[in-house]
């Protein structure tokens, strides 16, 4: 069906509500946190807000003391998402456009700066409360943005090389065993079954 009517252009205004829960009204999803579209986080934001609401669902009708805790958690959750998205811009390595050059000069939020400096120093990502992107996601983002750690966690030296090799080999065996148990693509999609039904039916 073709799209009809005039196109509507809306202003992009990323941000976080100061008080997503007021009285008996609770904001979830984009009404609570409006992320930048760079990571397509709309569903992620909705899921996160619902999870926080479920854990703080009102025990009784009345003053809703849970609202303060929800507001604090959702703002913390949104701030962590903001940092993850801001890293795409603030750590960019594009030098062919005034926009990207200017973005690199913007002051980094202290919480993001702490993550970048820690990863740069020892390949470690300090996580905050209410994080939804964990070490692997942060490491992939920071490495992709050119942050190359100058050192590593000294606790690594407490294990021998043989112990590290054994651990990696064990993980590889676990992955291989898991892959063997998985159905093939055709079976997963039901292609083999449909083909059999067409032949027999």
CB 135, CB 125: distance < 8 Å = yes
81-90 residue pLDDT tens:
999 999 999 9
pLDDT attached to residue 191? 67
CB atoms within 10 A of CB 173: 10
158-193 residue pLDDT tens:
889 999 999 999 999 999 999 999 888 887 777 655
Confidence of residue 1 (pLDDT cuts 50, 70, 90): low
pLDDT attached to residue 200? 61
Q: Are strands 21-22 and 25-26 parallel, antiparallel or unpaired?
A: antiparallel
C-alpha dihedral, 17 to 23 to 29 to 30, nearest 10°: -40
Backbone angles phi, psi at 170, to 5 degrees: -60, -45
29: left (phi over 0), alpha (psi -120 to 50) or beta: left
CB atoms within 10 A of CB 39: 14
Percent of the chain residues topping a pLDDT of 70: 93
Residue closest to 103 by CA, chosen among 113, 111, 93: 93
């Amino acid at each position: 069906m073709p799209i009809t009517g005039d196109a509507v252009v809306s202003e992009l205004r990323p941000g976080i509500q100061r008080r997503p829960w007021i009285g008996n009204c609770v904001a979830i999803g984009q009404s609570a946190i409006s992320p930048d579209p760079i990571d397509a986080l709309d569903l992620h934001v909705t899921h996160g807000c619902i999870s926080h609401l479920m854990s703080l669902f009102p025990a009784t009708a009345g003053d809703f003391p849970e609202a303060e805790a929800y507001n604090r958690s959702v703002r913390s959750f949104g701030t962590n998402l903001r940092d993850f998205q801001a890293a795409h811009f603030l750590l960019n390595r594009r030098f062919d456009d005034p926009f990207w050059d200017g973005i690199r000069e913007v002051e980094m939020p202290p919480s993001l700066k702490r993550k970048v400096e820690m990863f740069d120093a020892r390949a470690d990502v300090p996580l905050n409360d209410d994080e939804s992107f964990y070490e692997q996601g942060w490491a992939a983002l920071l490495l992709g943005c050119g942050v190359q750690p100058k050192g590593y966690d000294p606790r690594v030296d407490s294990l021998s090389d043989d112990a590290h090799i054994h651990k990696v080999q064990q993980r590889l065996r676990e992955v291989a065993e898991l892959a063997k148990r998985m159905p093939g693509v055709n079976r997963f999609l039901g292609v083999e079954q449909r083909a059999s039904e067409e032949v027999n039916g």
